[in-house]
């Protein structure tokens, strides 16, 4: 029997996971490469080693607008991978926001801590250069899912005539940044409900991590997202400076001095899509090269899922 087509996927966020699962179920051999320490992309979670507290410092919730992702959420809810939280029609993942991506990638070949530095394509297929380890395999097709600017830089490592067709839309995508601040406090912070969303100021939202479903850590801890405007204005500041500034802003908002037992800032340079590529996915049929992500359809987890699935269907049809 002929071997199944080999597909390399760069990135391990929701778009990559959606495409990987769809292609694997269609009978293709999928290999996923991501530079991070774990899968999830911007559906990220971090556990503090000293306190043991878990923080979802990227995307916070999942919502469905269309039938495909609604079916997915229903399945995850039935299996305890997501649960309702904060508002009607809104779910949080259990035990953290990486859980849905981990479920989609379960049983597949996934390599974390692997940074793809350049791409080449010859008559045999696609080859990946990795910063950490050699990769000798040749792939029949390639799916890229990092944020559009990072994908553009990766495509720039190739010969100018490879993968050029159909990728101009990457330049149309735009993002707003976000500084995220993870805080543990001696007592619960005094605001009503599980999410605080100020009308103005440096802070966009504060999320009670201990109130999310399926969390075993009950000690008070929150994740704060700075506003896009504030994040852009302070984008290149040090994490320490951002921590101090946002802690002061939160204290002023709540009318109290806050002495956290743990604090850590994380910068998302490409946090929120503000302009899209204008298509569900980008694809060069001759090169068997595709791009998927929320940059294609909009700033939602569902958009990344739909984009990855749509690209996988197109690629599967071409590889069949």
Confidence (pLDDT) at 165? 64
Write the secondary structure of 194-256 as one string of H (helix), E (strand) and C (coil). CEECCCCCCEEEEEEHHHCCCCCCCCCEEEEEECHHHHHHCCCCCHHHHHHHHHHHHHHHHCC
Q: What is the CATH number of domain 6-43+98-173+277-319?
A: 3.50.50.60
The pLDDT assigned to 91 comes to 97
Q: How far is CA 278 from CA 74, 75, 171, 273, in A?
A: 29, 30, 11, 12
pLDDT given at position 162: 52
Class of domain 175-273: alpha beta
**Chain segment 31-83, per-residue pLDDT in tens:** 999 999 999 999 999 999 888 899 999 999 999 999 999 999 999 999 999 99
Residue with tokens 């990486």: 98
Give pLDDT, residue 160.
Answer: 55
Domain boundaries, the chain: 6-43+98-173+277-319, 175-273
Residues of the chain with pLDDT under 70: 1-2, 159-165
The residue among 291, 289, 317, 293 whose CA lies nearest residue 126 is: 289
- At 134 the pLDDT is 87
Tell me how far apart the alpha carbons of residues 309 and 303 are, in angstroms, rounded to a whole number. 10
96 contacts 56 by C-beta, under 8 angstroms: yes
Phi, psi of 123 (to 5 degrees): -60, -25
pTM, two decimal places: 0.95
For 127, the token pair is 């080859």
Give residue 62's pLDDT.
97
pLDDT of residue 19: 98
Cα 302 to the chain's mean position, in Å?
11
Q: What is the pLDDT of residue 23?
A: 98
C-beta separation of 35 from 10 below 8 A: no
């Amino acid at each position: 029997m002929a071997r199944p087509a080999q597909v390399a996927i760069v990135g391990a966020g929701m778009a990559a996971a959606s495409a990987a699962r769809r292609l694997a179920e269609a009978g293709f051999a999928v290999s996923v490469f991501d530079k991070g320490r774990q899968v999830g992309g911007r559906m990220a979670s971090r556990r503090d080693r000293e306190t043991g507290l878990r923080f979802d410092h990227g995307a916070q919730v999942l919502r469905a607008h269309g039938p495909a992702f609604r079916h997915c959420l229903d399945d995850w809810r039935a299996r305890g991978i997501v649960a309702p939280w904060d508002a009607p029609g809104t779910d949080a993942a259990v035990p953290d926001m990486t859980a849905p991506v981990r479920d989609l990638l379960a049983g597949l070949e996934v390599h974390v801590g692997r940074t793809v530095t350049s791409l080449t394509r010859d008559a045999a297929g696609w080859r990946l250069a990795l910063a950490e380890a050699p990769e000798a395999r040749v792939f029949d097709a390639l799916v890229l899912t990092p944020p559009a600017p990072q994908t553009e830089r990766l495509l720039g490592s190739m010969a100018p005539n490879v993968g050029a067709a159909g990728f101009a839309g990457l330049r149309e995508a735009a993002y707003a940044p976000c500084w995220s601040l993870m805080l543990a406090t001696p007592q619960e912070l005094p605001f009503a409900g599980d999410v605080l969303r100020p009308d103005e100021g440096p802070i966009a939202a504060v999320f009670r991590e201990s109130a999310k479903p399926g969390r075993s850590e009950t000690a008070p801890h929150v994740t704060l997202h700075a506003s896009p405007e504030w994040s852009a204005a302070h984008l290149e500041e040090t994490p320490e400076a951002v921590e101090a500034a946002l802690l002061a802003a939160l204290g002023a908002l709540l009318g109290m001095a806050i002495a956290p037992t743990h604090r850590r800032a994380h910068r998302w340079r490409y946090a929120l899509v503000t302009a899209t590529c204008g298509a569900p996915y980008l694809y060069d049929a001759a090169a068997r090269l595709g791009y998927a992500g929320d940059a294609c359809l909009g700033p939602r987890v569902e958009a990344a899922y739909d984009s990855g699935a749509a690209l996988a269907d197109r690629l599967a049809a071409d590889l069949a």
